[in-house]
Amino acid sequence: MSRRELLQMIGVSAGGAAMYAAMTSLGLAGPSPYKGPVKLQGAPKGTSVLVLGAGVAGMAAAMELRDAGYTVKVLEYNQRPGGRNWSLYGGDTYTELGGATQRCEFDEGLYVNPGPWRIPHHHTAVLGYCRRLGVAVEPFIQVNYNAFMHSPAHFGGRPQRFRAIRADYHGHVAELLAKSLQQRALDAQVTREDQEKLLESLRQWGALDQRYAYRTGEASNARRGYLKDPSGGLSARPRFSDPLGLGEILDSNTWAGLLPGETYEWQTTMFQPVGGMGMIGKAFGRELGALIQYGAKVTAIQQDARGVSVSYEDTASPGSTQTARADWCLCTIPLSILSQLPINVGPKMEAAIAAVPYSASVKIGLQFKRRFWEEDEQIYGGITYTGLPITHISYPSCDYYSRGKGVLLGAFTYGSLNSAEFTSMAPAERVAKAVEYGSQIHPQYKQEFENGISVAWHRSPFTQGCAGIWTEEAREKHYDDLCQIDGRIALAGEHASFLGGWQEGSITSALDAIERIHQRVVAGAKS
């Protein structure tokens, strides 16, 4: 069972507050601790720090350490900055484990984000670095009332508009509660005065009629949408649509798609960098310049009382080992990779590194000849949720009404059997399957499709997984040991945070680690 599936069950049985508490304990929610740039005054001249990994954690740390006067070097496996902060554009190539190489054929200006794709408004560290680095951002549309909810086994397989599912679910629940109040079933919980106020609020919230019924009419159609919209002239009269039954909504599980937009991490307003999430990684890369050595595959990490030595290979010339040495090391390599490397840390940190498996995830970007979702269906941004194995279709939150082609996120699977199924396929088969499944929601798919590209994160050579999975038991036993400085080595990344899978967790963990390294450096210089 995936974390999201577990959280849906918690939300159903115990309510939103319990779900949010569970999200916090699992590292999926919680306010960011970021309050502004770190202050690292008094760094002794010549003190060196080796940063492993040029993801956002490593690059934010390198930038702050450099500005404080440290000598900094960053080793990065890829030939680009950003790590999982990554966008694929036309002309890019990507080779996954197993040797399959894909070339992105998107038209100029179009892209897909294989990793992070949205930034919550309260992720102040990510947004703060966007501001400092000059990365423009724009709104990301999480909830679109005109997008679809789709269950292939219900409603005759026809996708339903988000607004209709939302209105009908709220309307039926409001009617049931209103009947309970009228039948005096809640007298012990609600005073008579409050019952009158609650009834009126239910009537308005649930679009009920004067008899507190949710039925076909002006009130319900103003929420769920009309069969024929009101207009002007002789054909101006609207035609009402009929609400879906509560039982079918519950059986279809489409109501679960209402939850993400209500949850703290996905509440409005969300943002995305203009031009792709990878713009953040690129901006960090420009800022750090020659401090980053690309194509450096770390093979071993060793420390002694005086510093840290890191062995690495140049990926362009495999087999030849080089060594970098520094006084301190900040390692942001994902634990899925780090657990395979020789590293002489204590038994507690070693056990913590081995205790965190990584979730599976697959994303598939699809280019189409035209933006049919806008032209034919008036969908501008937002997400369609489906019971099909692709689970999501996300529409671009930019370039509305632009002529020509467009790219959809045609699949986003996370931590489930769907991810395993897609990961096992060849890249071209993943794309073909995404088109096949998506055509059940958008019949235009097959005629309008041009090309696509997929990233299965368990086949990513630099992560071998999407993000760290903490259980409550593992976090209680190992989390503090993972985050403690071991000799002259500290770890950072989303795995070392309570914001698992988010860039905010990566950056704040790195800033916390370098502050503690700095305290030790200053204390050592004074002793």
- DSSP state string for 149-170: EE-TTSGGG--EEHHHHHHHHH
Pairing status of strand 406-414 against strand 361-368: antiparallel
Residue 336 in contact with residue 495, Cβ under 8 Å? no
Q: What are the φ/ψ torsions at residue 385 (nearest 5 degrees)?
A: -110, 135
CATH superfamily of 40-77+289-356+470-526: FAD/NAD(P)-binding domain (3.50.50.60)
Q: What are the φ/ψ torsions at residue 402 (nearest 5 degrees)?
A: -75, 145
427 by Cβ neighbours in 10 Å (0-12 / 13-18 / 19+) ranks as buried
Helix (H, G, I), strand (E, B) or coil at 335: helix
What is the reported pLDDT for 32?
A: 76
What is the reported pLDDT for 312?
A: 98
DSSP 8-class letter at 12: H
Q: Do domains 40-77+289-356+470-526 and 88-146+268-276+359-459 have the same CATH topology?
A: no
Task: Give the Cα separation of 54 and 72 in Å (integer).
Answer: 12
Task: Give the Cα separation of 49 and 37 in Å (integer).
Answer: 19
What is the reported pLDDT for 36?
A: 79
- Residue given tokens 């269906």 in the structure block: 377
**Can you name the residues that pair with 491 across neighbouring β-strands?**
331
Residue 164 in contact with residue 244, Cβ under 8 Å? yes
Task: Give the Cα separation of 469 and 2 in Å (integer).
Answer: 10
Task: Give the Cα separation of 150 and 144 in Å (integer).
Answer: 14
Query: Kind and range of the H or E element at 93?
Result: strand 93-95
> Cα(first)–Cα(last) distance of the chain, in Å?
52
Task: Give the Cα separation of 479 and 495 in Å (integer).
Answer: 9
CATH topology of domain 161-252: de novo design (two linked rop proteins) (1.20.1440)
Residue 160 in contact with residue 291, Cβ under 8 Å? no
Tokens of 7: 């959280």
Task: Give the Cα separation of 381 and 378 in Å (integer).
Answer: 10
Task: Give the Cα separation of 277 and 126 in Å (integer).
Answer: 11
Q: What are the φ/ψ torsions at residue 215 (nearest 5 degrees)?
A: -150, 175
Q: What is the 3-state secondary structure (H, E, C) of 265-290?
A: HHCCCEEEECCCCHHHHHHHHHHHHH
Mean pLDDT, each 10-residue run in order, the chain (527 residues): 48 39 49 81 92 98 97 98 98 98 98 97 97 98 98 97 98 97 91 93 97 97 96 95 97 95 93 98 98 98 97 92 97 98 98 97 98 98 97 97 96 92 98 98 98 98 97 97 98 97 97 97 83
Q: Is the dihedral of CA 277, 23, 337, 517 positive or negative?
A: positive
Q: What are the φ/ψ torsions at residue 282 (nearest 5 degrees)?
A: -65, -40
Angle at 178 between CA 173 and CA 181, to 5 degrees: 130
Sorted by where each begins, the domain ranges of the chain are: 1-30, 40-77+289-356+470-526, 88-146+268-276+359-459, 161-252
Q: Is the dihedral of CA 465, 466, 468, 472 positive or negative?
A: negative
Task: Give the Cα separation of 433 and 234 in Å (integer).
Answer: 46
Pairing status of strand 406-414 against strand 328-331: unpaired
Task: Give the Cα separation of 403 and 514 in Å (integer).
Answer: 47
Residue of 388, 377, 352, 382 whose CA lies nearest to 470: 352
Half-sphere exposure (Cβ direction) of 211: Cα atoms closer than 13 Å: 4
Residue 98 in contact with residue 430, Cβ under 8 Å? no
CATH topology of domain 88-146+268-276+359-459: Polyamine Oxidase; Chain A, domain 2 (3.90.660)
Residue of 366, 448, 460 whose CA lies nearest to 407: 366
Residue of 155, 135, 127, 225 whose CA lies nearest to 507: 127
What is the reported pLDDT for 19?
A: 42
Residue 214 in contact with residue 174, Cβ under 8 Å? yes
Q: What are the φ/ψ torsions at residue 451 (nearest 5 degrees)?
A: -160, 170
